Amino acid sequence: MTLSDDIPDAELGARSSLSDRIYTELRVALMSGYYEPGDRLNIRRISQLSQTSPTPVREAVMQLVREGALELKTGYQPRVPVLSPEAYMRILEVRVPLERMATVLATMQVTTAMLEELRALDRQFIAAERGNEWKAAMNHNRAFHFCIYRASGNEVLVRTIENLWLLTGPLVGRQYVETIHRASDAALHGQIVEALERRAPHEASDLVVHDLRYGARIILERMRAAGTRRKPRAAEAAPD
């Protein structure tokens, strides 16, 4: 599995066992929208791509099942849950205050290196959008936001936010590909960086929440318009 090449060391952390690393890679893939609602994960296929036995892959998948990021029914492959608009809204209601808090705390810890990393991620995000590389854009967007959240210095808060992104990532990724993107939308990241650079916690957190709510509004509109007509797409592993 080569997704780990795109995962910063800060996200891999001290995980050293094969099962832990596969688990981390799958978490990032789910948060970044590489999988879509209804996708099924083929453990044997993932193990082949990972060049390992099915056992550590199965352990990683079962951990994600326990966390609610995947669902497993007897006789079926693990599947990415399909969220209803109501379930998505409930998760969103919890995300907003937590991501606001993480941004406020991060503003107190801003460094030159952090600002440079955010600007680099924003450039990568914009380039991916312009190239219609939507999955890459989602991954850069996730990395951008968690660069901020990790700067809060509160590991419990960051992990909680990660768990919520884990639940919504597949849905956001599916809708993101079909959304009309405008240059003004991407400008929000730049505004967030400027607010962080000026050490303006309330402005930075308001912008982060605006970014979240703006995207969520479009997603909810599309979900309600489409209803439940979409068919699940077959998937086996995170792409290279």
Type of residue found at 158 = V
The rounded distance, in Å, linking the Cα atoms of 156 and 50 is 29
In the structure, what pLDDT confidence band is assigned to residue 50 with cuts at 50, 70 and 90? Answer: confident
Instruction: Let me know the angle formed at the C-alpha of 133 by 128 and 134, rounded to the nearest 5 degrees.
Output: 100
Exposed, middle or buried by CB within 10 Å (0-12, 13-18, 19+), for 77? middle
- pTM score of the predicted model: 0.81
40 has which bridge partners?
Answer: 79
Q: Is the pLDDT of residue 176 over 90?
A: no
Residues 215-236: what's their mean pLDDT? 69
Backbone angles phi, psi at 202, to 5 degrees: -70, -40
Q: What is the largest CA-CA distance in the chain?
A: 55
Nearest to 180, CA basis, from 235, 221, 121: 221
Q: Are 149 and 103 in contact (CB under 8 A)?
A: yes
pLDDT tens per residue, range 115-149 = 999 999 999 999 998 898 888 998 999 999 999 99
pLDDT beyond 70 at 184: no
Give residue 177's Cα distance to chain centre.
Answer: 14
